[in-house]
Homo-oligomer: A and B are copies of this chain.
């Protein structure tokens, strides 16, 4: 709800209001949110916190295609509505990596092209449980999903989430990972991963763990993310980081996202890894307006230099 921050010249921005509604002037706190310390140092926040949900359910589904994942998502929005708190998309490869890294058996017997982790958070345990059961029955009966389980207790909930949260660690286990964090229209969300995989294969840079041709730097191209936010993490696990893979990935991935009017930095920050790619999502005019604000509040450019903005003389000088 509010922020307190200190500008480079020592000015204290006191926008720490503790009420939700306030229409007295420009909403300056919004400029600090996500500005990564380039405008000032945030020294205080006021936060509105909701009650913790008393009833949480988690289900894990196997789905054969991305097309069907989209249908399962629509069904979840329709049937679970206001209690739907997570709809995580994970492709089959990510789950295979978690299996190989941890040695744990996947919660579902067969292998599937895609997996969805669906969480509900509500305050009426009986009704919530009935709704997610009804939802599961529907997507299985309609053959949108091929298989599915529903966590029966807290420890099963934790185990199912581990198949999502274990992905990052598992991918880097064989060397490293190139990571991208993109927003794209939902229809195009997974095609980016497929096209990228094809691209590396055609260039002879990819050999999976079964083939295990160690001359190939890349092991796979995988995708996972948040359906409700239209946000995908395109990840490229590699045996080693090489210039060939980098050149095959960039600016290719940024161009593809730009063509679809997506964001090249969806939920993570720009920092020093993506500051030079902001132009794939934002126009020169927009970047110019941002620089105007930066220069107004930090004319000597002393705040978090070399980051966030593209490295051009006007900022780094």
Interface residues of A (CB under 8 A from B): 11-15, 17-28, 30-31, 33-35, 39, 51, 53-54, 77-83, 121-124, 127, 130-131, 183-185, 229-231, 261-270, 274, 278, 281-283, 285-287, 289-290, 292-293, 296-297, 308
Contacts and interface: CB of A to CB of B under 8 A. Distances in A.
A20 B231 CA distance: 8
Given A27-B30, A82-B123, A183 B289 contact: no
Given A12-B285, A15-B286, A26-B290, A21 B79 contact: no
Nearest to A277: B24
Contacts of A34: 23, 26-27
Nearest to A287: B25
A292 B297 CA distance: 9
Top 8 closest A-B pairs, CB basis?
Answer: A81-B123, A30-B30, A127-B127, A19-B183, A22-B263, A21-B266, A24-B281, A82-B82
Number of copies: 2
B185 A19 contact: yes
Contacts of A184: 19
Given A30-B30, A81-B51, A285-B11, A21 B229 contact: yes
Contacts of A31: 26-27, 30-31
User: Interface centre among A21, A35, A266, by most B CB within 10 Å?
Assistant: A21
B123 A229 contact: no
A17 B263 CA distance: 8
A263 B293 contact: no
10 contacts: A11-B285, A17-B183, A21-B231, A23-B266, A24-B281, A25-B278, A26-B34, A30-B30, A82-B82, A124-B131
Contacts of A17: 183, 261, 263, 281
Given A19-B184, A24-B264, 16 more contacts: A17-B263, A19-B183, A19-B230, A19-B231, A21-B229, A22-B265, A23-B270, A25-B270, A25-B308, A27-B34, A30-B31, A53-B81, A78-B123, A82-B121, A127-B131, A293-B293
A188 to B, nearest CB: 11
Contacts of A83: 82
A21 B230 contact: yes
A23 B268 contact: yes
A139 B285 CA distance: 56
A33 B27 CA distance: 8
Contacts of A26: 31, 34-35, 39, 290, 293
A24 B123 contact: no
B270 A24 contact: yes
Nearest to A28: B289
